Amino acid sequence: MATDHRPFMIGVAGGSSSGKTTVAERLAELAGDQRVALIKLDSYYCSFPDLPIDVRAKANYDHPSAFDWVLLNQHLDELSAGRSVPVPVYDYTNHVRSAEVRMVSPSRIIVVEGILVLAEQSVRDRFELKVYIDTEADLRFIRRLIRDVAERGRTPDSIIAQYLESVRPAHEQFIEPSKRFADVIIPHGGLNAPAIDVLLARVRELTISQ
């Protein structure tokens, strides 16, 4: 399916477990799959399957160098040109891309969410609307701890060590400063219903005008 117009791109950034995915998925849910293409930055982690798993586990996954920006930009170019793309499916337990892909079709609106989508200029410059989800550090850490134990087979000790060694420093160095590029800052993450309603209204305008 090809789109008739250049897509409207929205970037949704914020710290790990800030509520980015909640906001992005609500935007996509409102308009439906035919209207919104949702791209998650986590899908574009670089993959080094030849490295031992203990080496892969120690990599800094919150640093800009952890992501394949070239592939992400290629996929956004393809979507903008009206062509579907095979988005990688990342295996968080083994720290590699799985053999699966998720086909994403071109849409009127493309939402790109991830910790560093406003920090990376080559991606940031594509967005007509830039959103930053601003959530308190203690809430982000608690959510991350619960998620990684339940969904990614991690131990609390490993999560705490990673948070102190790489997650928090990367947030302070790269993610938090990218807030200055945002058009809209949403405090309290996915729990801020009034602010999310404003975004939903904008998406509704775009889908109705299509």
Instruction: Place 209 in a pLDDT band, splitting at 50, 70 and 90.
Output: low
> Which domain range does residue 138 map to?
8-209
- Looking up tokens 């992501």 gives 67
- Total domains in the chain come to 1
Least Cα distance to 133 among 176, 163, 172 occurs for: 176
Does residue 73 fall inside a structural domain?
yes
Query: Domain for residue 123, yes or no?
Result: yes
Residue 4 has pLDDT above 60, yes or no: no
159 within domain boundaries: yes
pLDDT digits 0-9 by tens, 44-92: 999 998 899 888 888 899 999 999 999 999 999 999 999 999 999 999 8
23 contacts 190 by C-beta, under 8 angstroms: yes
CATH number of the structural domain spanning residue 97: 3.40.50.300
- Average pLDDT of the segment spanning 30-40: 78
pLDDT at residue 205 greater than cutoff 80: no
Is residue 1 in some structural domain?
no
CA distance 96 to 89: 9
Return the pLDDT at 103: 96
Say yes or no to pLDDT of 10 above 70: yes
Report the pLDDT value the prediction gives residue 3, as an integer from 0 to 100: 42
pLDDT band at 34 (very low <50, low <70, confident <90, very high): low
At residue 16, the 3 state secondary structure works out as coil
Q: How confident is the model at residue 33 (pLDDT cuts 50, 70, 90)?
A: low
pLDDT tens readout for residues 149-195: 988 888 999 899 989 999 999 999 999 999 999 998 988 776 777 87
Residue-wise pLDDT for 80-123, tens only, equals: 999 999 999 999 888 899 999 999 999 988 999 999 999 999 99
136 closest CA partner among 74, 187, 90, 98: 187
Contacts 24+ apart (CB under 8 A), 168-171: 168/137, 170/60, 170/62, 170/63, 171/15, 171/16, 171/62, 171/115, 171/137
| Within a domain: 92 | yes
Instruction: Give the pLDDT score at 2.
Output: 40
> What's phi and psi for 86, nearest 5 deg?
-90, 95
